[in-house]
Amino acid sequence: MTGSITIAEATSLATKPAPFPAAAVTASGVNPDFTGTFEPVHLSLGYRIGMVAVCCGMALLLAVYLGIMGCAAYGVYYHFHAHSAMIAASGNVFAIIIYYWPCLAGSILIFFMVKPILARRPEQPPKYSLTPQSDPALFELIGRICELTRAPLPSRVDVDCQINASASFRRGLLSMRGYDVVLTIGLPLAAGLTMQEFAGVLAHEFGHFAQGAGMRLTYLIRATSAWFARVVYERDEWYVRLVQAAYSLNIRLAIFLHLIRFSIWLSRRILWVLMHLGHVISCFMLRQMEYDADGYETRLAGSEAFARTATKLQQLHAAGLFAYEKVRESWNGRRLPENLPSFINVCINNTPAELREKIESGTRETRFLDTHPCDADRIKAAKTLNQTGIFHNDRPASELFNDFDGLCKGASRFHYENELELKITDRNLVSHEIAEQDSLSQTQGEQAYRDFFLGLRLKFRPIVLPAAELCNANPKETLLAAKREMEQSKPAVQKALADHEQAELNYQRGLDAISQTAQQATVMAAETMKSLVPTLEKFERNAKARLGSALQLLKEPGIAEGIKNAAALRAEVAQLTPVYVALCQAFEPLQELRRQFRALTAAMDAAGQEQRRSLRLERIEARVNELTPRIKDLLERVRSPLLDVPYPFHHARQDLTLDAFAKNDIPASTKLQAIFNDCTCHLDRLLPLYQRVLSRFVFIALSVERAVGGN
């Protein structure tokens, strides 16, 4: 993106950048789309009451916080002077410890409460910023909206890959005296909204700019909440050392350190209450601020556009969750979409219905502790205003940017490297077209898997597809009969799968145990799983027969004529079959690798938590030495059938094999860490790959079933 720069290159944090010059903004055709008069937004009574209540409440909470520190300091002072006779009366060591312990405990308590003040402000991460020279149309729109809303021009305009836009002070408290504010634009919004809807979102954020005292108060509320959260939850190196000392010293001395820990815990419980009281106090005020900012958006874009935008934002948030899950899975194979904002928008059509429903259900009712009103209440308030809006332009908001595709690619890579801290090269980035195709293919496969297996999840046993089962005399009758059998056996299989999963958990608990006695739980769990095999095997046989018959019917010309892209599907089956056979051969050792690796992880976690008992540490070390050779052997058994089998999907390495795909590429400093990394790579890559290939098979099988009238 020409002209797009990071804040590290653009501006020092110590100095306020000059507002973008009007001369740099060229005529772009945006201003003619403004018609009518922008009505001023007046503060509601609820907004004013909220400001007063929050100011009083937060001041009271801070007073309580300071009061706790003051009481602790006075208690130390009083004890030190009033009870000094304890040492004079008795000179033994125990009396001295009893006398000085409250002083030490009180001082440490005060230190832990004051420590966040002394802590440095964390270094600000770099930002991806725009300039008026790089995107003049966008800055022209920003300038016009600021003029209408009487909001200050932002000192800087940043972009990121979040599904959000925000207004913030550039340097925190140091920026509160003036109007040193930053506008952050989430590029997925620009990719998914029209100019009218996007302008409304900007007006909402500039409404926060125009709130002045409200925005400053909001910052103080959030800063105070963050302060309480740090005191309550932060476990830094000082606290870790205190815990280590409490466990390593002689019990007669350690008891005093444990009492100090108790006093710190007690103070944190009190502050936890204050933190949540602060949240309760601030929620009403924050909701009123959102309603106020919504008024700016509604007056600029109109009530109907506000409702459309709210609906689109729901869809984008659901798509964002789905897209990031796919990105996480894709990164297991070291692949990432090069254009993340566009990928999120593509995922709108692929988002599972249950995820969309979950997001939408959270926007129907405003709860007492919500900082934002629900969408239903906000839309109702916007429609009550009955505004037609003064800005009307249905062109894509992406046209406001000079090179939107290039900007999204640059911001995506910036996001991966600076926010997710991933080490990537050009080979890791997948073009938008391929990412879109992969997303559609996987979504189709996942839905087909749910339909084919009747909503059941077969996680622990493979659906093997031997070559002999691909041929039978009456494939259509076999397919329909197998489908009926699967549907009839669903209730029994569903219960068997639930029992099998519980037995698997019990089996894993036994493996995770350090003592030999506790490990006997695996025997009982294994017997339970064995008793469930007949029920599961019958269902699996029918699934194999149904799948094999469908793939056989795909080869028949009369059937293939009624299937869209039948030739391409046959080619896909031919490509995936050797891959699936190899993965099925690796499935059993892969499942056992998963169990043994979890047991090894549990042993290492136990070793890290154990502080004192050397005998237990010896047992843990023996357990690690017992598991390590097993895991190495399982890794070899997993790799063996994968050798020379080509990876079936798009990858930067064209000659990639399954063995190379699964191989560890994470650096390690020790042999044990290398084993951990090796297990992680094999499990995170091969199990999802098995699922993906099987899902494609059942997608093709369902296409055949529709052609033969099986659905």
Q: DSSP secondary-structure letter at 304?
A: H
Kindly give, in sequence order, each residue whose CB lies less than 8 Å from that of residue 660, ignoring residues fewer than 6 positions away: 647, 653
pLDDT value of residue 589:
95
pLDDT value of residue 196:
94
pLDDT tens profile 393-429: 999 999 999 999 999 999 999 999 988 888 888 888 9
pLDDT tens profile 563-610: 888 899 999 999 999 999 999 999 999 999 999 999 999 888 877 665
User: What Å distances lie between residue 280 and 68, 283, 367, 513, CA to CA?
Assistant: 21, 5, 11, 43
Full-model pTM? 0.77
User: Are β-strands 429-430 and 336-337 bridged in parallel, bridged antiparallel, or unpaired?
Assistant: parallel
Q: Report the range of poorest mean pLDDT among 13-27, 245-259, 361-375, 428-442.
A: 13-27
Nearest to 187 by CA among 455, 452, 403, 464: 403
pLDDT value of residue 193:
95
Q: Are 664 and 681 in contact (CB under 8 A)?
A: yes
Q: How confident is the model at residue 612 (pLDDT cuts 50, 70, 90)?
A: very low
SS (H, E, C) 58-79: HHHHHHHHHHHHHHHHHHHHHH
Residue 681 has pLDDT above 50, yes or no: yes
Q: Report the range of poorest mean pLDDT among 37-46, 322-331, 682-691.
A: 37-46
Residue 179 has pLDDT above 60, yes or no: yes
* Distance, CA of 128 to CA of 147 (rounded, Å): 25
pLDDT value of residue 20:
53
pLDDT value of residue 15:
40
Q: How confident is the model at residue 18 (pLDDT cuts 50, 70, 90)?
A: very low
Q: DSSP secondary-structure letter at 399?
A: G
* Distance, CA of 635 to CA of 589 (rounded, Å): 8
Residue 173 has pLDDT above 70, yes or no: no
* Alpha-carbon torsion (693, 695, 698, 700), positive or negative: negative
Nearest to 341 by CA among 263, 422, 432: 432
pLDDT tens profile 341-352: 999 998 988 888
Of residues 655 and 409, the one with the higher pLDDT is: 409
Q: Is 131 helix (H, G, I), strand (E, B) or coil?
A: coil
pLDDT value of residue 25:
41
H-only helix segments in 513-657:
516-519, 521-553, 557-560, 566-609, 614-639
pLDDT value of residue 449:
94
pLDDT tens profile 460-507: 999 987 555 456 678 889 999 999 999 999 999 999 999 999 999 988
User: Are β-strands 429-430 and 181-186 bridged in parallel, bridged antiparallel, or unpaired?
Assistant: unpaired
Residue 315 has pLDDT above 60, yes or no: yes
The top-scoring range by mean pLDDT among 432-436, 437-441, 700-704 is 700-704
* Distance, CA of 317 to CA of 359 (rounded, Å): 8
pLDDT value of residue 587:
95
* Alpha-carbon torsion (639, 643, 648, 653), positive or negative: positive
* Average pLDDT taken over every residue of the chain: 82
Please report where in the chains the tokens 């699996």 appear, as a residue: 540
pLDDT value of residue 495:
95
pLDDT value of residue 213:
62
pLDDT value of residue 616:
62
Please report where in the chains the tokens 């899975």 appear, as a residue: 329
Residue 678 has pLDDT above 60, yes or no: yes
pLDDT value of residue 176:
59
Residue 615 has pLDDT above 60, yes or no: no
* Distance, CA of 426 to CA of 19 (rounded, Å): 36
Nearest to 272 by CA among 565, 35, 65: 65
Q: Are 331 and 307 in contact (CB under 8 A)?
A: no
Residues 575, 692, 569: CA angle, nearest 5 degrees: 40
- Reading the block at residue 383, the tokens are 């429609």
Please report where in the chains the tokens 């099987």 appear, as a residue: 694
Q: Is 460 helix (H, G, I), strand (E, B) or coil?
A: coil
Residue 438 has pLDDT above 50, yes or no: yes
Percent of the chain residues topping a pLDDT of 90? 36
Q: Is 466 helix (H, G, I), strand (E, B) or coil?
A: coil
CA 156 to chain centre: 27
Q: Report the range of poorest mean pLDDT among 7-21, 115-129, 140-154, 459-473.
A: 7-21
Q: Is 184 helix (H, G, I), strand (E, B) or coil?
A: strand
* Distance, CA of 153 to CA of 658 (rounded, Å): 54
Percent of the chain residues topping a pLDDT of 70? 83
